[in-house]
Amino acid sequence: MENSQDVEQPTAEEPALSDVAGLTGRGLTAARAFLGWSLHDLANYSGVSFSTIRRVEDLAELTPRKEVALKLVLVLQQAGIEFRRDDDGWFVRKRV
């Protein structure tokens, strides 16, 4: 049995690792589209550079590094985006 101190636990400000596991460039582009955000908007809100976000989106299947993904998912979740997984894989939707 694992000790709970050995398992990485999300904080109130940090999404769970399971939330960022499915973030790809394609999902990032979809999330921005739901919100009507430009690349510059996401860069400003997340603190991730414009060039990093553009590179991730250009490589549609690329999953960004954990620390980048956490920043992006946090700001997108706070804006109303959900990252979900079903039998067909990961998808992005806007909370209603």
pTM of the model: 0.73
pLDDT in tens, 44-88: 999 999 999 999 898 866 667 888 888 998 899 999 998 877 777
Q: Is the dihedral of CA 8, 89, 56, 94 positive or negative?
A: negative
Tell me the CA distances in angstroms from 94 to 16, 30, 63, 78, 80, one per residue in order.
18, 10, 20, 11, 6
Please tell me whether residue 89 adopts helix, strand or coil conformation: strand
CATH classification (class only), 15-94: mainly alpha
